[in-house]
């Protein structure tokens, strides 16, 4: 085949898109419709907790429009990294939504569920066999870290999608996958070269973000033998050589070398050519297969329970000496927490001061703030929620009442926007597994279940 047309609806399932953009894309006769369902960008909470990144309501709206369009045109609907993190709980939530829509709309199709959660015993065996290695700035993986992980997922490549399509699946829902993999699978299965297929996936997984103005919207990509042509379906947006080149640099340590399951996409020699006032052709990408197939592993572990409060001050006398003020607050918190049996080692207290250095903390190059007001996010992390709540309550009282030199107003130097002011956030997680494994083959760790809906 000399050309294969792919349609992406947005940058992430549940982010939404205009119905008119979907209709415009479908009028161009795409051969596949899809959306990326997840990312590690929102942090480890979703993988650790098993909760979805976006609301069920938002995901259902997007899926219903896509499913109706795909079934009407008799083309595959493919969603990777379902539910945000791509674990088994996330996959099942999205599968339940699809079944519900099918009942409501009286739709019939073959559904494939591709699972990505990994057995901890298998991971440990691979470690013992020397098949696991750490990514940059990550310690070597050990048994204790594997045991502490709430769940571990593998990031699948295009091969499981390829198999599901070969076995007649019309709707494919996958656990954690490389963002471009679903798109690359459909294009390479249509006998297009891997280099443009993977590059198409890099564009499509973010929806119309490669266009200007940016927004969560639909993008149409034609995969060719020698490159790709991409165009947003919404007439208010357009792809330009600059917008596409700019987008192609994101999310990698190197702006041009992109490691994927099974190989490397090299965009060093890409050229960007406007083929209309709204469409761009990209060519010159290269694909180099790896000698050994690897899969990224992602895992998250519980690190405690979090409580927060938010307040602000506009007192110029306080703002001028805020660092020393926070030192006094910390001392008071430590003393008063110890009074009810909580030692400093039992919690982590963090002040994020917006308007001063909340974003960069100690790396902030601006030493003297010019802000006329400061916002303070107070965070306490402890081994249990009760302790976190208790220390936060003491923190809130002290940031409100601790004295400072030349204070003119003896009360009310902090304003709290909410009542209750204290927010118990529940369990907190961190990424603990960011490693690659040699699975032996590209398919065995991603079993597929089929349903006739």
List, for residues 298-322, the tens digit of each pLDDT value: 999 999 999 999 999 999 999 999 9
State residue 408's pLDDT score: 84
pTM (predicted TM-score)? 0.94
Residue 229, SS3 per DSSP: strand
State residue 268's pLDDT score: 96
H helices, E strands: number in the chain: 13, 19
User: How far apart are alpha carbons 194 and 315 in whole angstroms?
Assistant: 60
Picking from 308, 281, 265, 166, the residue whose alpha carbon sits closest to that of residue 222 is: 281
List, for residues 174-225, the tens digit of each pLDDT value: 999 999 999 999 999 999 999 999 999 999 999 999 999 988 999 999 999 9
Least confident of 104-108, 359-363, 367-371: 367-371
Report the sign of the C-alpha dihedral through residues 176, 182, 188, 190, in that order. Answer: positive
State residue 196's pLDDT score: 98
Q: Please check whether residue 390 is in contact with residue 268, taking contact to mean a CB–CB distance below 8 angstroms.
A: no
State residue 137's pLDDT score: 86
User: How far apart are alpha carbons 4 and 94 in whole angstroms?
Assistant: 27
Q: What percent of the chain has pLDDT over 70?
A: 100
Average pLDDT over residues 324-345: 96
List, for residues 244-282, the tens digit of each pLDDT value: 999 988 777 888 999 999 999 999 999 999 999 999 999
Residue 16, pLDDT above cutoff 90: yes
Output the six-digit token pair for 239.
Answer: 């792809």
Going along the chain from its start, the domains and CATH numbers come out as: 3-116+156-294+438-452 (no CATH), 302-431 (3.30.70)
Integer angstrom CA distances of residue 366 from 355, 357, 359, 369, 370: 11, 8, 12, 7, 9
Q: Which residues of 86-111 are buried (b: 16+ CB within 10 A; e: fewer)?
A: bbbbbbbbbbebbeebbeeeebebeb
Average pLDDT over residues 80-91: 98
Helices 322-339 and 385-401: crossing angle, nearest 10°? 130
List, for residues 223-244, the tens digit of each pLDDT value: 999 999 999 999 999 999 999 9
DSSP structure string for 178-198: -TTHHHHHHHHHTT--HHHHH
State residue 51's pLDDT score: 97
Give the per-residue SS3 of 365-397.
Answer: CCCCCCCCCEEEEEEEEECCHHHHHHHHHHHHH
Residue 205 is classified by DSSP as: T
Mean pLDDT of the chain: 96
Output the six-digit token pair for 305.
Answer: 């329970």
State residue 1's pLDDT score: 57
Picking from 196, 153, 164, 200, the residue whose alpha carbon sits closest to that of residue 180 is: 200
Work out the pLDDT band at 2, boundaries 50, 70, 90.
confident
Residue 343, pLDDT above cutoff 90: yes
2 or 288: whose pLDDT is higher? 288
User: How far apart are alpha carbons 52 and 41 in whole angstroms?
Assistant: 13
User: How far apart are alpha carbons 67 and 74 in whole angstroms?
Assistant: 10
State residue 412's pLDDT score: 72
User: How far apart are alpha carbons 355 and 360 in whole angstroms?
Assistant: 11
State residue 367's pLDDT score: 83
Work out the pLDDT band at 424, boundaries 50, 70, 90.
very high
Determine the length of the chain. Answer: 453
Output the six-digit token pair for 318.
Answer: 């306080």
Integer angstrom CA distances of residue 80 from 121, 314, 326, 394: 25, 47, 45, 44
Residue with tokens 């987008």: 247
Least confident of 24-33, 218-227, 404-413: 404-413
């Amino acid at each position: 085949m000399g050309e294969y047309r792919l349609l992406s609806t947005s940058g992430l399932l549940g982010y939404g898109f205009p119905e008119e953009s979907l209709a415009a894309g479908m009028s161009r006769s795409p051969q596949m419709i899809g959306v990326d369902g997840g990312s590690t960008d929102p942090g480890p909470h979703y993988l650790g907790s098993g909760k979805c990144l976006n609301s069920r309501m938002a995901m259902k709206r997007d899926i219903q429009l896509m499913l109706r369009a795909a079934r009407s045109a008799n083309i595959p609907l493919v969603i990777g990294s379902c539910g945000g993190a791509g674990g088994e709980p996330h996959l099942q939530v999205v599968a339940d939504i699809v079944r519900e829509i099918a009942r409501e709309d009286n739709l019939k199709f073959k559904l494939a569920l591709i699972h990505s959660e990994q057995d901890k015993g298998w991971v440990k065996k691979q470690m013992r066999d020397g098949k696991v290695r750490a990514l940059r700035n990550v310690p070597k993986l050990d048994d204790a870290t594997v045991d502490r992980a709430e769940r571990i997922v593998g990031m699948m490549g295009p091969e499981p999608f390829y198999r599901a399509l070969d076995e007649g699946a019309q709707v494919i829902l996958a656990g954690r996958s490389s963002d471009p993999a679903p798109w690359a699978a459909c294009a390479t299965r249509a006998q297009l070269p891997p280099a443009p297929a993977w590059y198409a996936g890099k564009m499509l997984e973010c929806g119309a973000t490669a266009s200007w103005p940016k927004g969560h919207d639909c993008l149409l990509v034609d995969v060719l033998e020698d490159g790709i042509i991409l165009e947003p379906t919404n007439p208010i947006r357009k792809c330009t050589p600059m917008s596409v080149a700019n987008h192609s640099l994101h999310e990698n340590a190197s702006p041009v070398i992109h490691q994927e399951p099974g190989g490397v996409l090299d965009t060093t020699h890409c050229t960007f050519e406007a083929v209309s006032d709204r469409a761009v052709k990209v060519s010159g990408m290269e694909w180099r297969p790896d000698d050994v197939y690897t899969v990224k592993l992602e895992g998250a572990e519980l690190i405690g329970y979090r409580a927060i409060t938010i307040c602000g001050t506009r007192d110029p006398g306080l703002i001028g000496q805020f660092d020393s003020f926070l030192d006094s607050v910390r001392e008071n918190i430590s003393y008063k927490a110890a009074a009810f049996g909580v030692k400093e080692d039992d919690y982590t207290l963090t002040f994020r001061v917006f308007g001063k250095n909340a974003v960069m903390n100690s790396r902030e190059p601006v030493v003297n703030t010019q802000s006329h007001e400061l916002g303070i996010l107070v965070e306490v992390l402890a081994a249990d929620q009760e302790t976190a709540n208790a220390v936060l309550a003491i923190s809130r009282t002290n940031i409100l009442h601790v004295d400072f030199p030349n204070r003119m107003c003896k009360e009310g130097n902090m304003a709290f926007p909410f009542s209750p002011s204290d927010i118990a956030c529940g369990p907190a997680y961190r990424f603990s597994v960011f490693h690659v494994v040699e699975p032996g083959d590209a398919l065995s760790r991603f079993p597929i279940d089929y349903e006739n809906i």
